[in-house]
Structures are given as C-alpha cells and as structure tokens.
Amino acid sequence: MSDIPGIVITGASGRMGQMLIKSVLASDKCRLVGALVRDGHDWQGLDIGVAMGGQPVDVPVTSDPLEAFAKAQAVIDFTTPAATVDFAGLAAQARAVHVIGTTGLTDNDLKAINAAARHAVIVRAGNMSLGVNLLVKLTKQVAAALDEDFDIEVIESHHNQKVDAPSGTALMLGEAAAEGRGVSLNDVSDSGRNGITGARKKGDIGFSAIRGGDIVGEHDVLFAGHGERIVLRHMATDRALFAGGAVKAALWGQDKRPGEYDMLDVLGL
Ligand SMILES: NC(=O)C1=CN([C@@H]2O[C@H](COP(=O)(O)OP(=O)(O)OC[C@H]3O[C@@H](n4cnc5c(N)ncnc54)[C@H](OP(=O)(O)O)[C@@H]3O)[C@@H](O)[C@H]2O)C=CC1
Ligand SMILES: O=C(O)C1=N[C@H](C(=O)O)C[C@H](O)C1
C-alpha cells in the first residue's frame, strides 16, 4: 500500500471528470484509485484509460460510490447537486476528503454538505482556479473602496451545455462584492432582468449570463460610476486549470481537521 493519497473521481465521463482523471494520472503526488459513473453507463466495467480513448491504466470504471470511497483518501466531485449531496454523506462515512466543484447547489444542498463536514474535510468552491480566487479578493477590496454611486454588475459567459445560472463563480464574486459593501447578497441580488424593469435600484448587485459555443468560463465584475467604469476580468481558456486546483485541494485537505473549507484556504489567500 502506497503512502501517496488515493483519489476517486466521480462523474468520470463528464467534461470535468475526464480532465480530473488526466490530472490525477499526470501527478506524482497522488494516484487514481477509482472512476465512478452512474449505474448502467456505457463505460461501466471498462478500464478508465481505454474508456477515454487511450491506454489501460488498471483502474476499472465502477458505479458503487461507497465501495470506491472506502479505498480512497480523497474524492473529487464535479457532477450535479443531487449526486454531490449523496456523495458528501458517503465520503464523510469513509472519512475521505471531499473536494466539491459542483455548482447550482440550493440552500438545502448546502445545509446537507455542511452537516457532512462535521465528520470529514470538505473543500468546496464554485471555481478552483488561482486567478478567480484572486479576483474574489480584489472584488471585495474594490467594492469596499467605492460607494453606491458605483453600480456593481457581474457578467459571466459559458459554453452552451452549462445548466445553471448565475455560475458558481459569479455567485462567489457577488458574495465578495456584497461583503465588501457590508450587505447581504440576498438583500441586493438582481438577476434575470426582462421587460419593464424600472430604473436600476441603487445598491443592487446585478447578474447577467451569456451561454454559447465552447466558452470555458469568463467573468467580469463591472463597477459603473459617473464618467468612469472599472472592470475586473478573468478568462479561463482550459479546464485543466480547474482540475489542477481540485487536485491541489485534495492533497491540502489530507492533514486538516473535519470542517468545510474553500479555495481561499487552500491557496492561503
Ligand atoms: N468549481 C469549478 O472550478 C468548476 C465547476 N464546474 C462545475 O462542475 C459540474 C460539472 O460540470 P461538467 O463536467 O461541465 O458537466 P458534465 O455534464 O460534462 O459532467 C457531469 C457528470 O456527472 C455525472 N453524474 C451526474 N449524476 C451522477 C451520479 N448520480 N452518479 C455518477 N455520475 C453522475 C454525469 O453523468 P451522466 O452523463 O451519466 O448524467 C456527467 O458525466 C457543474 O456543476 C459545473 O458548473 C465546472 C468547471 C469548473
Ligand atoms: O460549468 C462550467 O463549465 C463552469 N462552472 C463553474 C461555475 O459555475 O462558475 C466554473 C467555471 O466557470 C466553469
């Protein structure tokens, strides 16, 4: 048995799942011990390397999460809210670090995840990249420096297969802006404008979502004042960025006490 942490990837056939498999296989700091898909998926029973169109890597694709988690020190999970809530309970049962990249989580989902974090380490972030997490810090700083004469808008663009809006990253940026202003995002959030909306309410934080083509993920935080505008921008051009951050989080979590953490903790920002 190796000392290097063993990692299971859930949603192994997904856009991020496949990127995560490649990242773990390429790392000499961890090893791939499981690749999970939904029961009945075409890939079930295949070697994950072969399923992805490459050479065998001696890891079969399976669909029993608890069996897979029991052999692992960490689970990296970029799937759907319903699956992630189930996986949080099972990863906690197996005492494996659970890295959650899934977005679109409801308040109830977040409560369930928080309950699981009483027993195990959970690292959750709507964006695992260094650049976005730095942007979160900058957004809070700029929002704190400007008054409500500057209207704050978060504009995000993603590929045409994304199912949730605003993106998890946009919500992180909105939360950071609200924190900088000393208000609760719930009280000032404005998304989905359509029709006769009336004039913009002073102090609101607006969200706009663009969906098209193969855009990996772009986020602007706009501070629009009178006669001047400030725009903070992040553009992701490669999903490897998110996968690399998630692997870093899985390794970072190995010696931490049970609880819920985010990428600011992992990156020390
Ligand atoms: N935090 C971050 O840095 C990032 C977060 N994301 C988020 O990650 C999530 C996934 O994105 P993406 O990879 O593009 O989406 P995909 O739809 O490509 O992948 C999701 C995968 O999850 C699988 N899945 C869903 N339910 C289950 C289940 N119960 N058991 C096993 N597998 C399951 C799906 O399988 P099937 O096809 O069989 O349903 C699919 O393979 C999204 O919420 C996205 O917003 C994405 C990029 C970066
Ligand atoms: O679904 C995606 O693709 C992405 N989702 C995350 C989000 O909701 O912010 C992160 C990244 O922007 C890509």
What is the model's pLDDT at position 6?
98
Q: What residues have CB less than 8 Å from 83, skipping those under 6 apart?
A: 10, 11, 77, 102
For residue 119, being part of any structural domain is answered with: yes
What is the model's pLDDT at position 192?
87
Q: Is the sign of the CA dihedral 161, 31, 260, 242 positive or negative?
A: negative
| Rounded-to-integer distance, Cα 139 and Cα 64, Å | 41
What is the model's pLDDT at position 3?
85
Same domain, 113 and 169: no
Q: Burial of 91 by CB count in 10 Å (0-12 exposed, 13-18 middle, 19+ buried)?
A: buried
Q: Burial of 234 by CB count in 10 Å (0-12 exposed, 13-18 middle, 19+ buried)?
A: buried
Quote the pTM value.
Answer: 0.98
For residue 63, being part of any structural domain is answered with: yes
Chunked into runs of 10 residues, the chain (269 residues) has average pLDDT values of: 89 98 98 98 98 98 98 98 98 98 98 98 98 98 98 98 98 98 98 95 98 98 98 98 98 98 97
Q: 159 C-alpha vs ligand 1 centroid, how far in Å?
A: 14
For residue 1, being part of any structural domain is answered with: no
Same domain, 228 and 261: no
Tokens representing residue 75 in the block: 């689970």
- CATH number for the domain including 13? 3.40.50.720
Q: 91 C-alpha vs ligand 1 centroid, how far in Å?
A: 17
Atom of ligand 2 nearest to the CA of 239: 13
For residue 205, being part of any structural domain is answered with: yes
| Rounded-to-integer distance, Cα 39 and Cα 172, Å | 33
What is the model's pLDDT at position 1?
54
For residue 251, being part of any structural domain is answered with: yes
What is the model's pLDDT at position 249?
98
Binding site annotation covers 245? no
Catalytic-labelled residue, pool 158, 219, 234, 248: 158
For residue 139, being part of any structural domain is answered with: yes
| Rounded-to-integer distance, Cα 135 and Cα 129, Å | 10
Greatest C-alpha distance within the chain: 64
For 238-262, the DSSP string reads: -THHHHHHHHHHHHHGGGSPSEEE-
Same domain, 226 and 194: yes
What is the model's pLDDT at position 263?
98
The domain in which residue 69 lies consists of 6-124+239-267
| Nearest alpha carbon, ligand 1 atom 23 | 11
